[in-house]
Amino acid sequence: MAFDLFLLEVVISGLMTGVMYALVALGFVLIFKASGVFNFAQGVLALFAALALYDFLAEDGWFFAVFGFTLPVWLAIPATALIMILLAWVIERAVLRFLVKQEEIILFMATIGLAFVLEGLGDLLFGSDVKPLDIGIPQGASDWLLDNFNLYVEKLEIVAAATAAVLVTALAIFFQKTRVGRALRAVADDHQAALSVGISLDKIWVIVWSVSGIVALVAGIMWGSKSGVQFSLSLIALKALPVLILGGFTSVPGAIVGGLIIGVGEKVAEVYVGPLVGGAIENWFAYVLALGFLLFRPQGLFGERIIERV
Amino acid sequence: MFYRENGQFKSSYSADQAIFPIAQDRVFVIGILLVAFCVVPFVINEYWANAILIPLLVYALAGLGLNILTGYCGQVSLGTGAFMAVGAYASFKLVGFFPEVNYLILIFVSGLVTAAVGVVFGLPSLRIKGFYLAVATLAAQFFLIWLFNKVGWFYDHSPTGMITVRPIDFFGVRVTGPEATPAAKYLFTLAIIATLTLTAKNIVRGRVGRSWMAIRDMDIAAELIGIKPLQAKLSAFAVSSFYIGVAGALYFGVYLGSAEPLEAFDINQSFYVLFIIIIGGLGSILGAFLGAAFIVLLPILMKNLMVGGFGVASGTAGHVEILLLGALIIFFLIVEPHGLARLWQITKEKLRLWPFPH
């Protein structure tokens, strides 16, 4: 019985980690859906958002140095969101605008360049030391679950899961019900057709980069609270990639389901297979798992069917 | 004024199909090769060899390999770092097993080993395309590096986990390790790279290269005109991995001297090589060299300028460097998405009309 409980704990912890991956993957999906850009900078966006948020909250930041006071959490988060929107606007103005109609790989490379720029900028502005991010999310194990079911689950992870659920619901409503959401889907479907019915591509791109900037902010908050704000935060982008190909580049539910599968698979493999081969298989196991799925569904679990014509 | 091709008539097919059909190009390339082989070895010093020329050549070779796969066959790969590691570890193990065999042969065999590994990791390309494939090649990257780090056999159970090159003589001349002269290292690398570049140029303009380009442009259409995607894609993976493997063996043996998988061959290495071919020009042999020059020289230049010229602290300079590198990459992509090779081509077109453009 104890063994099963342990397995359950591993699975739950995997599911929670999966949600965290999914948060990052979600940002990728949004941008890929609306502009066909494979945005490698998503992880760095999350890092940048977390750094900016920390700056508003801490007494050793720029904001405190300039204005002499720090912002409360409820004000700092919208302020960071504003910064992300501003950043999206700058990215559209300075980079994307000039790369319309280029091949996908060129756009992909441009986002890697963008990742470098943001990384250097983040280090220059905020320094590269580890910063603890505390916005009042409860830490430690959930006592209630521990007492009643003897299960060890991090409170932070429960909060992350709840946030992810709210975020996905909000995004689903935004995409399906609002005017802007419809325009986004139209652009995702066909750039030219969208242009011809009067949708402004520039605006849509700013909007979609802003939205994924805000998603990056959420991911940054969660990962930052978990392990501090530091450079390695941007590497979660690499963790999100297998999630992405597993779920499909174009599917929001795919990102969530993919995240859960990868999270659970990774944890279970680490616990049960890892010791047999010397451990530390987390780095590549997710990719192999995703590759296995891809061999049967080349477009990912929920991706749009790839139709090719000569 | 000088770059004119009028008056240069071809009277045979072989003259028409020469690699450099224009006499000025031929003279230019021969001149560069003469300088590289006959002048540079006499003036080269430790700094120029180890910091600039050898890394430039090695990265150009790796870029050439990736360009065959990505630029000519259209399969994006992010596993270059790992394939370089395969070449490096293969050469390390082979030199250990057969110390008396000629180093050149061992490097060649390391390339073949990498080619075999490349074909295995190329198999998914038959079913997966585009970015899905790019991410799938990351599986190779992470798995291989993990393997080299975990399994003691690969690094001869050395306590540090690092591999260190043994001193090797090539026809009586020391080419690896600290005792090798810069000129010997440089000439050894240059000779291999010159030969492989010539081979690559001839492969890509022959039947195999054309079948790769057909697959790149549209694989279904290529299949309809009788190109076997299995053969074309896997041969591209094999040839590309061979080049990258040789580059990895040289990177470890001649350039670094000792290597540790997590640092020398990590994913940034893959990105650097990808940058080289994108900045240099996809589907261009010259592009690999131009791109390598850009990626190798630019950071050195910026560092010297900032630390030496403006007295910026080297820590800050590192951040500024990465920022500027990113900005320059974006800038070049915006200015010329087809890379430096295209800029060179445009320059040549302009030169033909210069100084009377009308």
For B27-40, the pLDDT digits (tens) are: 999 999 999 999 98
> Is there a contact between A25 and A240 (Cβ–Cβ < 8 Å)?
yes
List the domain boundaries for chain A. Answer: 2-245
Using only C-alpha atoms, chain B has a radius of gyration, in whole angstroms, of: 21
Structure tokens of A142?
């959930």
Please check the confidence at residue B51 and state whether its pLDDT lies above 90: no
Name the residue type at position A134.
D
Instruction: Decide: helix, strand or coil at residue A152.
Output: coil
Is A119 close to B321, i.e. CB distance below 8 A? no
Is A298 close to B76, i.e. CB distance below 8 A? no
Range in A1-5, A19-23, B7-11, B73-77 with the lowest mean pLDDT: A1-5
Between 2.50.20, 1.10.3470, 2.60.40, 1.10.260, what CATH number should domain B41-343 receive? Answer: 1.10.3470
Q: What is the pLDDT along chain A (310 residues), one digit of tens a residue?
A: 455 778 888 888 888 888 888 888 888 888 888 777 888 888 899 999 998 888 888 877 777 877 877 788 888 889 999 999 999 999 988 888 888 777 888 888 899 899 989 988 888 888 777 777 777 777 776 677 667 776 677 788 788 888 888 888 888 888 888 888 888 888 877 778 888 998 888 888 899 899 989 999 998 888 888 877 887 777 778 888 888 888 888 888 888 899 999 989 888 888 887 777 776 777 788 888 888 888 888 887 887 777 777 7
Q: Give the mutation candidate from B73, B148, B154, B333 for the A interface (greatest A CB count, under 10 A).
A: B333
Neighbour-count burial of A145, counting CB atoms closer than 10 A to its CB (0-12 exposed, 13-18 middle, 19+ buried): middle
Helix then strand count (H, E) for chain B reads: 17, 4
Q: Mean pLDDT, to the nearest integer, of B301-314? A: 77
ipTM of the complex: 0.84
Is A287 close to B130, i.e. CB distance below 8 A? no
Within 8 A of B152 by CB-CB distance, chain A residues are: none
Please check the confidence at residue B280 and state whether its pLDDT lies above 80: yes
Q: With CA atoms as reference, report the closest residue to A216 among A35, A83, A56, A69.
A: A83
Instruction: Decide: helix, strand or coil at residue B258.
Output: strand
Q: What is the pLDDT at residue B167?
A: 86
Instruction: Decide: helix, strand or coil at residue B227.
Output: coil
Distance of CA B194 to the CA centre of its chain: 12
Residue of A nearest to B317 (CA): A124
The beta-carbon neighbor of B326 closest among A113, A244, A295 is A113
pLDDT band for position B232 (cuts 50, 70, 90):
very high
Cα–Cα distance, A265 to B70 (Å, whole number): 31
Mean pLDDT of chain B: 89
What is the separation, in whole angstroms, between the first and last Cα of chain A? Answer: 58
Within 8 A of B333 by CB-CB distance, chain A residues are: 99, 102, 106, 109-110, 113
> Is there a contact between A213 and A268 (Cβ–Cβ < 8 Å)?
no
Q: What is the pLDDT at residue A20?
A: 84
- HSE-up (13 A, CA, CB side) for residue B298: 20
Structure tokens of B357?
């453009």
DSSP 8-state secondary structure symbol assigned to residue B39? I
Within 8 A of A237 by CB-CB distance, chain B residues are: none
Question: What is the four-CA torsion angle of B44, B45, B51, B56, rounded to 10 degrees?
Answer: 10
Paired strand residues for B89: none
The beta-carbon neighbor of A120 closest among B320, B330, B333 is B320
Is A298 close to B218, i.e. CB distance below 8 A? no
Instruction: Decide: helix, strand or coil at residue A139.
Output: coil
Q: Mean pLDDT, to the nearest integer, of B249-265? A: 89
Q: What is the pLDDT of residues B93-140, one digit of tens each?
A: 999 999 888 999 999 999 999 999 999 999 988 888 888 888 888 888
